[in-house]
Structure 1
């Protein structure tokens, strides 16, 4: 404690401590004045800095799947037939349709001199209108399949998603992107992982997932399948995987943790992940030989301990029976010698009967 006439009692450790500022965004000067004869200057406390929050992937909030406007396929087929009929009627009107073809369509062979003057601006306009109607009608016909969807866009803008099945008519001016919305599974190749001790592993995982929001999965990321693979790789580097041969029951915990992490990363882009399950785990090539030797040594030590336990039990049982039945009377020295001889004999017998 420092006690002077000009100051009150101030603990020494408070003169050199920078505590957090209870009021964010403000600087509070420490209540420490200049002490006589010390030359110490007042110190300013630094404001506390709030820890940064982990970043969460964000997607455009307006990019949400919504149904697109489509018509039944019959409407498109009818429009196409009307366009084709208009082309035939225009050809008959211009007089370029042969007599045999006109008779086949049920039209009179000649229209007169005024109608057969040839192709003029009116005929070309009729051709253009009928042809556009036919192309627009037949060009928009599409077949919707179960488990497949179309993401429609126009000039880079999302216009809706088609999940209907059967014959449909979709505006041919819209850009279509086919998306598989069925329940899918993906078996990965060897991926890097580690166990709880930090030993390098190679694992193959089985991922069960599906596209829940087609708009975000298609337009929110460049390739949603590659994004799922990258999420799995990132999760494997954060979650310890059960090493080969371990029986600690950590496989279920690792699967739950992997599924939770991958689902949290893939959810904002419209992908629903149901399970991420390691199906094959092995040591990395650079540590496989060393871990194999360690495992062999551990098995050998376990086997030796088991043999020694069996030998000790057998010796104890033999000596106890001989003593209780009065077959021998042994003092301490003789008992030690008998135990030693029996131990050597039993160990030799276990060694000959062993592998």
Structure 2
């Protein structure tokens, strides 16, 4: 079932017509009775029917607000949707239901799921959506607002199980490091589920991401260990470069000649000084280069 335009007229001209028609009907009825008292019944009955029809026509008025659609039904049959804003008039027998076309958003609850590595995580998302087909939203699902929320949480669970929380292999996508890719995947998953409900997903983004409480401490220690290893790697890399530079400058300037054994000792001492966490205690050599 797809949305289509329903019959409706601008309301102001119809109001003006009724403002003229109702008093005219009353006046003509009174004048007819005065002119032909003997034909009272033949005058009152048509006048009463005409007045009833005019008064019943007032039930056809309805308002359409900006970014709103009015879904019209005739005895349960879908008659169409009116999106023209302002005062409108249509068949008085039509029932009317307002459907907002404005952009709306909601934040899902914090879901507890397992990521691609099997680690329990907590995740939540903000979904921005709007109705684009009023007929599908009203007639294809029972409660489209509740349908959007439940299907969005289902899509969030499915997406979270497709990625690890953190990448361990270089540039592999993960929930924490590849936000744009993950959000695009989430939006696509939600859109596929809401296609039957006449809803378009404008945006979907993760709003909360964390390890579950039972493994949060262990994962924090793991992250700290990774950070320490990375920092040590940078320190060692810099220390080796400095030792290499020091040996090259000593040899270039002829400050001292070192054999392999003394060169290895000097390298060891420099690395200890540069890589150590605590301040080193200097040892003053008062003997010769080979005794002390």
Instruction: Report the TM range for the smaller structure's normalisation.
Output: 0.7 to 0.9
Give the equivalent residue in structure 2 for 1:189. 108
- Mapped contact 2:108–2:126 kept (Cα < 8 A): no
When normalised by structure 2's length, the TM-score is 0.75
Q: 1:280 to 1:245 in 2, by over 3 A?
A: farther
Give the whole-Å Cα distance in 1 for the aligned partners of 2:214 and 2:53: 68
For 1:1-12, list aligned pairs within 5 A: none
When normalised by structure 1's length, the TM-score is 0.63
2:8 aligned residue (70, 83, 86): 70
- Mapped contact 2:108–2:149 kept (Cα < 8 A): no
Q: Which has the higher helix share?
A: 2
Superposition deviation, residue 89 in structure 1 = 6.2
Q: 1:279 to 1:236 in 2, by over 3 A?
A: same
Asked which structure has the greater CA Rg, the reply is: 1
2:18 aligned residue (72, 79, 90): 79
Give the whole-Å Cα distance in 1 for the aligned partners of 2:211 and 2:57: 60
Give the whole-Å Cα distance in 2 for the aligned partners of 1:123 and 1:158: 39
CA deviations over 1:153-179 (Å, ceiling 9, x no partner): 133221111112232112232221111
CA RMSD of aligned residues (A): 3.4
Give the whole-Å Cα distance in 1 for the aligned partners of 2:118 and 2:216: 14
Give the equivalent residue in structure 2 for 1:296. 224
For 1:130-141, list aligned pairs within 5 A: 130-141=50-61
Q: 1:264 to 1:114 in 2, by over 3 A?
A: same
Give the whole-Å Cα distance in 1 for the aligned partners of 2:85 and 2:46: 35
Consecutive unaligned residues of structure 2, counting only runs of 5 or more, are 281-292
- Mapped contact 1:80–1:133 kept (Cα < 8 A): no
1:178 aligned residue (98, 101, 112): 98
Matched, 1:346 2:265: no
Give the whole-Å Cα distance in 1 for the aligned partners of 2:229 and 2:18: 84
Q: Secondary structure at the match of 1:238?
A: helix
Matched, 1:238 2:138: no
Give the equivalent residue in structure 2 for 1:10. none
Q: 1:289 to 1:81 in 2, by over 3 A?
A: farther
Matched, 1:211 2:159: no
Give the whole-Å Cα distance in 2 for the aligned partners of 1:80 and 1:157: 31
Q: 1:139 to 1:316 in 2, by over 3 A?
A: same
CA deviations over 1:201-247 (Å, ceiling 9, x no partner): 33343334332221111111012222222222122222235747997
Q: Secondary structure at the match of 1:201?
A: strand
Give the whole-Å Cα distance in 2 for the aligned partners of 1:78 and 1:352: 98
Give the whole-Å Cα distance in 1 for the aligned partners of 2:57 and 2:204: 46
Superposition deviation, residue 93 in structure 1 = 7.8
Superposition deviation, residue 342 in structure 1 = 2.0
2:233 aligned residue (281, 302, 305): 305
Give the equivalent residue in structure 2 for 1:144. 64
- Mapped contact 1:77–1:137 kept (Cα < 8 A): no
